[in-house]
Amino acid sequence: MYHDFNYEATLASSLRAQWQLDDVLREDQALDFSRNFMPESLARTAALGSLNPFEQRILNQISAHQYLCIFGVVEEFILPFLLDHARPALRDDDYRVRALLNFASEEAKHIHLFKRFHEAFVRGFPVECQMIGPSEAIGAEVLRHDPLAVALVILMIEWMTQQHYLGSIRDDGDLDPLFKSLMKHHWMEEAQHAKLDTLIVDALGEGRSEAQIDQAIDEFFEIGGFLDEGLKQQAAFNLDALEKVIGRKLDDRDEILAQQHQAARWTYIGSGMVHDRFKATLATLSARAAERMAEAAPVFA
Ligand SMILES: [Fe+2]
Ligand SMILES: [Fe+2]
C-alpha cells in the first residue's frame, strides 16, 4: 500500500485539529488593506514591472478576492459530492460514515468562513470585483462527470491547499495576518480531507479496467479545461477591477492578462497536479494516468 490512511485515525486527527470560525475571523474584524493578502508564489503580482508598488498590491488583493470566490465555488461542489458518496453505505463502517460526514461538515464551515472573509473584503475594498459563476452552474457542470474524475479533481484541490499554506509562510513577512491565518486554518483541516479523498479515489478506482481509468482521466481533463476557461475569464474581471481602482486603462493589458491567468493556473490546478501525494495516488491507479498528468503539468506551471 502506498499510504497508511484509514477512516478511524483520520477522524481522530480531524477532531483534534478542529477550529471555530471566530478563531480565524470574527464578524467585526477588518482586513489590513495596507498589506498584501496573497503570497507572491501564488499571486505573482510583484513580477509585473509595468505596475507601481501600489498597483501591484491592489492586484494582489484582487487576486485574494478571487481566492475566496474560487474556493467558495469548489467547496460548494465538494459538499454534495461527499454526501452522495457517503449515502449508499451509511450502515457499513461507522468510522467511515462519521469521517465523511465530519469532512462534509468542515467543508460547510469553510464555505461559511470564505463568505465571512468575502464580506470583510467587500467592506474594505473601494470597488466591486466581479466573479465568475453562478457557483451552482459551475458545480453542476463538474458533478455531471464520472465520480472518479470528480474525486481526482477534489483530491488535487485538497493537496494544493497544503502547498498554498507553505508558500504563504515561506515568502511573506508583509502578508495580512488574517489572510495568513485563513491559509493556516484551511491547511490544518484540508490535510485530513486529502487523506479521505485518497480513500475515496481508491474505492472508486477499484475493479476498473485500464480503459475505464483512461476514460476517467479524459473526464478529469475535461473538468480541468472547463475550470481553466473560468480562470481566464476571472483574470479579465480582475483587471477590470484593477483599472477601476487605479483610474486608467492598462497599456499592456494582454500581457498582464496572460501572466495573471498563468498565476491562477498554478494556484488552482498546477500546484495540486505536481503534489507528490497526488502523483502517488495516480500512479497506483495506473501508470498511464500518471504519465498523462505529468505531460499536462507544465501547461499549469
Ligand atoms: Fe475546505
Ligand atoms: Fe477540504
pLDDT tens across 91-148, in order?
989 999 999 999 999 999 999 999 999 999 999 999 999 999 999 999 999 999 999 9
3-class state of residue 78 by DSSP: helix
Instruction: Tell me what pLDDT residue 171 has.
Output: 66
Report the pLDDT averaged over residues 25-45: 96
Cα–ligand 2 centroid distance for 262 (angstroms): 24
Kindly identify the ligand whose nearest atom is closest to the C-alpha of 112: 1
3-class state of residue 208 by DSSP: coil
On whether the CB atoms of residues 175 and 36 are closer than 8 A, the answer is yes
Instruction: Tell me what pLDDT residue 202 has.
Output: 96
The per-residue pLDDT of the chain, averaged, comes to 95
Report the pLDDT averaged over residues 214-234: 98
3-class state of residue 32 by DSSP: coil
Length in residues, the chain: 301
Cα–ligand 2 centroid distance for 234 (angstroms): 22
Cα–ligand 1 centroid distance for 252 (angstroms): 35
C-alpha cell at 298: 507544465
Instruction: Tell me what pLDDT residue 109 has.
Output: 97
15 or 174, greater pLDDT: 15
Kindly identify the ligand whose nearest atom is closest to the C-alpha of 191: 2
DSSP code for 6: -
pLDDT at residue 280 is higher than 90: yes
- DSSP string across 151-192: HHHHHHHHHHHHHHHHHHHHH-SSB-HHHHHHHHHHHHHHHH
Cα–ligand 2 centroid distance for 291 (angstroms): 26
Beta bridge partners of 36: 175
pLDDT at residue 167 is higher than 80: no
Cα–ligand 2 centroid distance for 252 (angstroms): 37
Phi/psi for 6 (5° steps) reads: -150, 165
Cα–ligand 1 centroid distance for 251 (angstroms): 37
On whether the CB atoms of residues 206 and 167 are closer than 8 A, the answer is no
The Cα–Cα gap between 208 and 282 comes to 13
Percent of the chain with pLDDT over 90: 93
Count H helices and E strands in the chain, helices first.
13, 0
Cα–ligand 2 centroid distance for 126 (angstroms): 31
Q: How many CB atoms lie within 10 A of CB 289?
A: 21
Kindly identify the ligand whose nearest atom is closest to the C-alpha of 75: 1
What pTM was estimated for this model as a whole? Answer: 0.96
Tell me the pLDDT tens digit for each residue of 170-212.
766 789 999 999 999 999 999 999 999 999 999 999 999 999 9
Cα–ligand 1 centroid distance for 258 (angstroms): 28
Kindly identify the ligand whose nearest atom is closest to the C-alpha of 113: 1
User: Which residues lie below 8 Å from residue 12, measured CB to CB, with a gap of 6+?
Assistant: none
